[in-house]
Amino acid sequence: MVDESLLLEIGGETISLADLAGVDMDAVAEVRQTLFPAGAFKFRAEPAKLDVFGSGEDRTPVIAFRFKCIDVLSLTDAALSADNVIGKFHQEPILLTEPMAGLGRAKAFMADTGFKGSGSLEDLLSGFGGTELYARITHRPDKRDTSRIYANIGLNIGAWKIAPGDGKLAD
């Protein structure tokens, strides 16, 4: 039995899980999750949002930043070219397990990109969309499961690995 109370929005239409169960899968393109490559890039931010990662007791509130790659400065994988990456998206979550510290990290992150804004968290996250920045993406293993690899902008000795879109990344 399919839960009909959960509704999804697809292509501007609201459908139930029962409706989704009837979708002709012959018309659905395959999508595989990929890890954003390590390197240095220029991104354009989309409006950030409050979200939840995980499920069950592992649910964690986050601020989800999403960036579209608009230029490639360098790639660590010689098998890739800029054409493989431009137009792709990288998501960078800031965990709110310690809410005020997480909000402070999000504020510092946005300020370090050159974004200037004031008001509520919602105002800042919405206004952040369109901000351009340079960022280094590094790969790191999960602390509990080293077979899981994460792509992160992350911190570099207290400073984000980012620069305003009209600036340059320091070495």
**How far is the C-alpha of 52 from the C-alpha of 25, rounded, in Å?**
28
Is pLDDT above 90 for 127? yes
Residue 48 carries which DSSP code? P
37-51: average pLDDT: 93
Q: 0.85 exceeded by the pTM?
A: no
Residue 46 carries which DSSP code? P
132-160: average pLDDT: 83
With cut-offs at 50, 70 and 90, classify the pLDDT of residue 156.
low
